[in-house]
A = this chain, B = another copy of it.
Amino acid sequence: MTVTNAINHTLKIRLTQSLSIALFVLFSVLGVHAADPLPSWNAGPAKQAILDFVKSTTSPGSENHVPPAERIAVFDNDGTLWSEQPLYFQALFIFDRIKQLAPQHPEWKAQEPFASVLKGDTKTALAGGEHALIEMAMATHAGTTTEEFHQLAMEWISTARHPETGKLLTEMVYQPMLELLTYLRENGFKTYIVSGGGIEFMRPWTERIYGIPPEQVIGSSIKTKYELREGQPVLARLPEMNFIDDKEGKPVGINQHIGRRPIAAFGNSDGDFQMLEWTTAGDGARLGVYIHHDDAKREYAYDRNSHIGKLARGLDESSERGWIVVSMKNNWKTIYP
């Protein structure tokens, strides 16, 4: 490009930008509104409650108006923004890491839960419940630097597929929730993930998949330690829990990271109960939403008796607490993009 061309090029971009802004302003003045912001949601009380909440908190002059800085919306991840059956997707990552690291750990062949994973028997591996999962997470998530781990998670998620659908895991996000995230952000909301999953497992890809930047991801974490390696500073990941972002931990994590109470919270399990409770106990308009997995045909149907994403108390108390229960089967036109 010659200098003149470059200047013309820059000018052209600027004029295009000006035109876009001018058109935007024109449409605003004329009051031209966008089409349905939630096209994958069927009309009904659940959709209407969400639309009403956003309108009431963002319309100037509304008695429930909330300044943009306080429009904080928090979302659980597993089962709320993407699927979580037949097991948390992060468990698949853990299993793959165990297989990858096995040559350096010959003792794993005789040591549960690792031995079962290496034999391909993940059901037995997970029989030890949360304790077994944390043990495996420690063994596979520590021992790297934060940047190495970022790279591992990012590479893994780019090809990892679901054991039953064969889809990329990142294709198993919920289209209606993607629309909701966008709709809230377009209305000045800051959208956060508040998940029991690993914070550093999620951060490498949440911006690309959900439009949620790393600083708006809250999750469970292990401790890190600052040190120099060959003169270069690194953060080493240690096999020691730092924080478990689940149940009562969710409001704690929200306070630690955000420092203000959200006005809207979205979850799908009893692990999200306290997050919804904390959010909706504040003054003014509040929105608490449970996604109910009742669609065995298009996704999974589970609630009270599920080993993952158990939803019992949430179902029992939603009505009296004024929380919305979204039926995936009835309220969503489509599940995946």
Contact = CB atoms under 8 A, between A and B. Distances in A.
Nearest to A30: B14
A227 B213 CA distance: 30
Nearest to A22: B22
A235 B26 CA distance: 46
A29 B15 CA distance: 7
Interface string A251-271: 110011111100000000000
Interface string A162-199: 00000000000000000000000000001000000001
A222 to B, nearest CB: 11
A77 B20 CA distance: 40
Nearest to A17: B25
A21 B15 contact: no
Interface string A21-39: 1100110110000000000
A260 B215 contact: yes
A252 B226 contact: yes
A42 interface: no
A29 B8 CA distance: 11
B233 A252 contact: no
Interface in A232-261: 232-233, 235, 242, 248-249, 251-252, 255-260
Contact of A29 (B14, B232, B260): B14
A69 B213 contact: yes
Per DSSP, chain A at the interface is helix
A318 interface: no
Contact of A233 (B10, B25, B217, B278): B278
Contact of A258 (B215, B227, B242, B260): B215
A58 to B, nearest CB: 14
A227 B281 CA distance: 13
Given A15-B29, A25-B21, A233 B256 contact: no
Interface in A75-129: none
Nearest to A227: B248
A313 interface: no
Contacts of A140: none
Given A21-B21, A233-B278, A248 B226 contact: yes
Contacts of A190: 215
A237 to B, nearest CB: 10
Nearest to A147: B261
Nearest to A10: B60
A235 B259 contact: no
Nearest to A14: B29
B259 A203 contact: yes
A251 B146 CA distance: 11
A278 B224 CA distance: 14
Contacts of A277: 233
Nearest to A258: B215
Contact of A259 (B14, B15, B18, B217): B217
B274 A251 contact: no
7 contacts: A21-B25, A215-B258, A215-B260, A217-B259, A227-B248, A233-B278, A242-B256
